[in-house]
Amino acid sequence: MKPVLDEIDNKILALLMDDARLPVTTIAKLVGIARTTVIARIAALEKRQVIAGYGLKLNASMYQPAVRAYVGLSIDAKCANSLIKFLQQFPEVESLSAVSGAIDYMLTLRCASTEVLDKLLDQIGSLEGVRQTSTSIILSKRIDRSSI
């Protein structure tokens, strides 16, 4: 069951998604409520796991490895656990999602070079149970809501 959020919760969340380091006093002024109420609201959102954590978002123009790619994987279902364990050891693996449709998993890789990507794709493709891979190199992001 999804938690019910009111207008104040949504305003607080929007401000925090834009800048998670925004001071509580600033949030209170922008939302029009007391500082202690903001503190209590944020604590409640964290407790209800609406806020799952806080992270760091790098400026892509200042720090961006040379190559990012989406990789579609078709696998034998019995090999899924070993595939996940294998992929967890690579820092280049940004995300792995089970998906519906013609492929079983969608993998996002962030590699320092095309050579690193090529070697990693060879390793993935040679795993037992991997039937097929399909790779698309990301040229640019036109919309990025990844912090949501």
Instruction: Single out the residue of 78, 66, 72 nearest to residue 124, CA to CA.
Output: 72
- Burial class from Cβ neighbours inside 10 Å (0-12, 13-18, 19+) for residue 112 reads exposed
71-127 pLDDT, tens digit each: 999 999 999 999 999 999 999 999 999 999 999 999 999 998 999 999 999 999 999
In the predicted model, what is the mean pLDDT of residues 121-138? 94
CA gap 78, 129 in Å, rounded: 8
Collapsed DSSP state (helix, strand, coil) of residue 107: strand
Residue-range domains of the chain with CATH: 7-47 (1.10.10.10), 67-137 (3.30.70.920)
Phi-psi map region of 2: left, alpha, beta (phi>0 left; psi -120 to 50 alpha): beta
24-53 pLDDT, tens digit each: 999 999 999 999 999 999 999 999 999 998
b vs e for 71-87, b when ≥16 Cβ sit within 10 Å of the residue's Cβ? bbbebeeebeeebeebb
Band of pLDDT at residue 55, cut at 50, 70 and 90:
confident
**pTM above threshold 0.75:** no
Instruction: Single out the residue of 96, 3, 8 nearest to residue 51, CA to CA.
Output: 3
Band of pLDDT at residue 7, cut at 50, 70 and 90:
very high
Q: Is the pLDDT of residue 65 over 70?
A: no
Contacting residues for 87 by C-beta, under 8 A, at least 6 apart: 93, 96, 107, 124
